[in-house]
Amino acid sequence: MKKHVLRTRTLLRRGCPRCGRCMFSGLLSMPVNCHGCRFLFDRGEAGYFTGAMSLGSVICFPLVVFLLALVHWIFPNWSLMAATAAAGCLCLSLTPWIWQFSRTFWIHLDHSVDPVDRGFRGPHARRRR
């Protein structure tokens, strides 16, 4: 039980699946390796974050529906078109966090299914040096 609480806390802090340190160096920037444990986030695979983009869509749809309900609740006299536009703009403003959380969820999901040991630096590590 305690392990799940710690993992959830690491997910919400957008932390590395191995050491828990935040994976992002800015709102829209992510280093290749973890600064804490040198964990290679994309495993050296091209297109690794394509799944994260799909996860972002999965996160975004219920968020837009929730924001639409929220806008309609706050401004009940607005038309559906205006409320949808406002909800879309609100969701657009949350894009950096959606991007970060989708990548975090994707990395944690991948790491839970196929954990990487500490010495692994990606399949193309030798070629990069």
Minimum Å distance from CB 126 to Zn ion? Answer: 22
Q: How many residues bind Zn ion (CB under 5 A)?
A: 7
Q: Tell me: does residue 32 bind Zn ion (CB under 5 A).
A: no
For 73, residues 6+ apart whose C-beta sits below 8 A from its C-beta are none
Task: Give the integer Cα–Cα distance in Å for 44 and 23.
Answer: 16
20 near 10, Cβ under 8 Å? yes
Q: Tell me: does residue 34 bind Zn ion (CB under 5 A).
A: yes
Helix (H) or strand (E) holding 128: helix 125-128
Stretch that binds Zn ion, among 37-45, 65-73, 87-95, 116-124 (CB under 5 A): 37-45
Q: Tell me: does residue 107 bind Zn ion (CB under 5 A).
A: no
Residues of the shown chain interacting with Zn ion in the complex, contacts defined by CB under 5 A: 16, 18-19, 34, 36-37, 39
